[in-house]
């Protein structure tokens, strides 16, 4: 069942690749139909989900090193799978018009969908790594083939930088494998029986390798420098996937791999993650505040939001802390992953609309857009408010849990870290209000006459994301009921 969900898009991609000269309409129809079918399957899986690890498949792959094809979903991965499927569907809808070489583009995105879904479903380290690495290759071709600006350079930097992270991750995985008894790459086995418990020095080095690999992908300060150029020069749908889905691969890895498999090392170095998280949150917000390029600005808010997630997972490792608070923080971190995927995906699609009209992101040359395109301005405002954490939208639910959890651990350092990170929210609020003020209100700018209202296709792409954010913001229980048991399990595993 889960394997069908994961590999259905890949099969469609292969069909598109061998199909001789399909028309753009046929490509779009196939792309949307397959993505929609995949989303429906995930929703159906969600309705039948009853806790624990479900839809599990376990087959031998490379038995000589104890690696298998092992997939399954639980409360951590199910929301991310649903978010991924939704985001890929709206990207398909949003790319209906004006895409060059639509056939290969659709095939590439469908293949990427398989890679992203597969990563969140994987329960084997080697399988996880396969998808982790392939996501880099897929996104490289998206940026290099369909980007704008200095996209070849950005794509190269993206590939080199994130590949460095992935090799670090691979070394870390090999360390986990060699440290386990009996040797295995299986995540459930490694979680049940954490490796390297009796070798703290090696465990610290392995955690370092894994953490560097995941931090590059997240990206955490100071490993974020690949992100702004990659986002700025990627096509809108590519940025939405990169920010919405691929950044989560890093943070998901922390919750799924680093915390439960190296609990001792995680506890010892939890402060490092807390510090990295706070610095990332503040630095991302401050640099975003200084941007005049709208897309770069959105990219830096991702650094800020991922900073909160790293802060939360770090705080959950503070042994002295209250377990309840730790659970709240992890639950907030997972909610933030989902929320950030929806909201930032929407923001990048909206900047894509802007690029389509004026081929520029410079805030200084825009102004008074609200007068010419009220719906566009309204949706951007909603997305901005969701991103800065306004109550009633999903960002608030996530950030409230994170701050409550971090401060609730009770240790003075964590309280200080939480208080500092709250300043990040203030800066984010300031910068989004500044964007609204400069680009959407006020006198018309030089490029404003070229801005036209959103087309139905674009509307159909952005609205579901913001609607989902609103639903989570108003009625979060259905989401939290799935996440909270998994968060409890992670915290009990990390405090072993």
Using CB under 8 A as the binding rule, the residues of this chain from 97 to 116 that contact other proteins are 100-101
Of 156, 272, 275, 430, the one binding other proteins by CB under 8 A: 156
Shortest Cβ 229–other proteins spacing (Å): 16
Of 91, 102, 170, 425, the one binding other proteins by CB under 8 A: 170
Q: Is 133 in the site for other proteins (CB under 8 A)?
A: yes
- Pick the closer one to other proteins by CB: 262 or 329: 262
Shortest Cβ 174–other proteins spacing (Å): 5
Shortest Cβ 185–other proteins spacing (Å): 9
Q: Is 271 in the site for other proteins (CB under 8 A)?
A: no
Shortest Cβ 345–other proteins spacing (Å): 26
Of 72, 175, 235, 332, the one binding other proteins by CB under 8 A: 175
Shortest Cβ 171–other proteins spacing (Å): 5
Where does this chain touch other proteins (CB under 8 A) — which range of 154-162, 272-280, 434-442, 455-463?
A: 154-162
Report CA torsion sign: 97, 98, 103, 109.
Answer: negative
Of 33, 40, 43, 62, the one binding other proteins by CB under 8 A: 62
CA 375 to chain CA centroid, nearest Å: 27
Size of the site for other proteins (CB under 8 A): 34
Shortest Cβ 62–other proteins spacing (Å): 4
Structure tokens at 346: 């929407």
- Pick the closer one to other proteins by CB: 32 or 119: 119
Per-residue CA distances from 355 to 27, 142, 227 (Å): 23, 17, 19
- Pick the closer one to other proteins by CB: 144 or 421: 144
Could you give phi then psi for residue 186, rounded to 5 degrees?
-75, 130
- Pick the closer one to other proteins by CB: 42 or 136: 136
- Pick the closer one to other proteins by CB: 238 or 314: 238
Q: Is 337 in the site for other proteins (CB under 8 A)?
A: no
Q: Is 145 in the site for other proteins (CB under 8 A)?
A: yes
Of 46, 49, 61, 271, the one binding other proteins by CB under 8 A: 61
Q: Is 137 in the site for other proteins (CB under 8 A)?
A: yes
Q: Is 144 in the site for other proteins (CB under 8 A)?
A: yes
Using CB under 8 A as the binding rule, the residues of this chain from 274 to 313 that contact other proteins are none
Q: Is 64 in the site for other proteins (CB under 8 A)?
A: yes
Q: Please count the other Cβ atoms lying within 10 Å of the Cβ belonging to residue 10.
A: 19
Which residues of the shown chain bind other proteins in the complex (CB under 8 A)? 60-65, 67, 100-101, 126, 129-130, 133-134, 137, 140-141, 144-145, 152, 155-156, 159-160, 163-164, 167-168, 170-171, 174-175, 177-178
């Amino acid at each position: 069942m889960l394997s069908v969900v994961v590999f259905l898009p890949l099969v469609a991609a292969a069909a598109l690749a061998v199909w001789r000269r399909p028309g753009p309409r046929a490509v779009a129809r196939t792309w949307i139909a397959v993505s929609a079918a995949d989303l429906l399957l995930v929703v159906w899986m969600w309705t039948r989900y009853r806790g624990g690890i479900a839809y599990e498949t376990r087959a031998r792959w490379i038995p000589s090193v104890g690696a298998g094809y092992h997939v399954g979903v639980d409360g951590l991965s199910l929301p991310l799978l649903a978010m991924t499927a939704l985001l890929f569907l709206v990207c398909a809808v949003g790319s209906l018009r004006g895409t060059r070489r639509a056939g290969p583009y659709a095939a590439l995105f469908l293949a990427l969908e398989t890679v992203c879904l597969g990563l969140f479903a994987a329960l084997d380290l080697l399988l996880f790594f396969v998808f982790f690495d392939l996501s880099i290759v897929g996104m490289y071709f998206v940026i290099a083939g369909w980007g704008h600006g200095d996209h070849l350079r950005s794509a190269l930097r993206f590939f080199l930088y994130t590949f460095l992270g992935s090799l670090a991750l691979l070394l870390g995985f090999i360390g986990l494998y060699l440290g386990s008894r009996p040797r295995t790459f299986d995540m459930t086995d490694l979680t049940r029986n954490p490796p390297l418990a009796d070798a703290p020095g090696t465990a610290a080095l392995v955690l370092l390798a894994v953490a560097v690999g995941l931090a590059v992908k997240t990206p955490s300060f100071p490993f974020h420098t690949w992100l702004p150029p990659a986002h700025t020069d990627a096509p809108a749908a590519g940025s939405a996937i990169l920010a919405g889905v691929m950044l989560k691969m890093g943070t998901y890895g922390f919750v799924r791999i680093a915390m439960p498999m190296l609990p001792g090392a995680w506890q010892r170095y939890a402060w490092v993650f807390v510090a990295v998280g706070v610095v990332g949150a503040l630095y991302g917000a401050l640099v975003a505040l200084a941007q005049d390029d709208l897309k770069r600005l959105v990219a830096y808010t991702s650094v800020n939001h991922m900073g909160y997630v790293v802060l939360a997972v770090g705080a959950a490792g503070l042994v002295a802390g209250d377990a309840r608070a730790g659970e709240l923080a992890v639950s907030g971190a997972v909610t933030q992953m989902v929320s950030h995927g929806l909201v930032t995906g929407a923001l990048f699609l909206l900047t894509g609309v802007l690029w389509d009209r004026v081929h520029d992101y410079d805030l200084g040359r825009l102004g008074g857009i609200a007068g010419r395109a009220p719906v566009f301005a309204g949706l951007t405002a909603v997305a901005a408010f969701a991103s800065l954490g306004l109550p009633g939208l999903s960002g608030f639910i996530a950030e409230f849990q994170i701050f409550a959890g971090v401060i609730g651990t009770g240790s003075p350092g964590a309280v200080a870290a939480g208080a500092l990170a709250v300043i990040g929210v203030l800066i984010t609020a300031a910068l989004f209000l500044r964007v609204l003020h400069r680009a959407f209100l006020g006198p018309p700018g030089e490029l404003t006459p070229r801005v036209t209202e959103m087309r139905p296709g674009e509307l159909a792409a952005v609205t579901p994301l913001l609607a989902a954010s609103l639903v989570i913001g108003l009625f979060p229980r259905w989401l939290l009921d799935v996440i909270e048991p998994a968060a409890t399990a992670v915290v009990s595993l990390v405090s072993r």
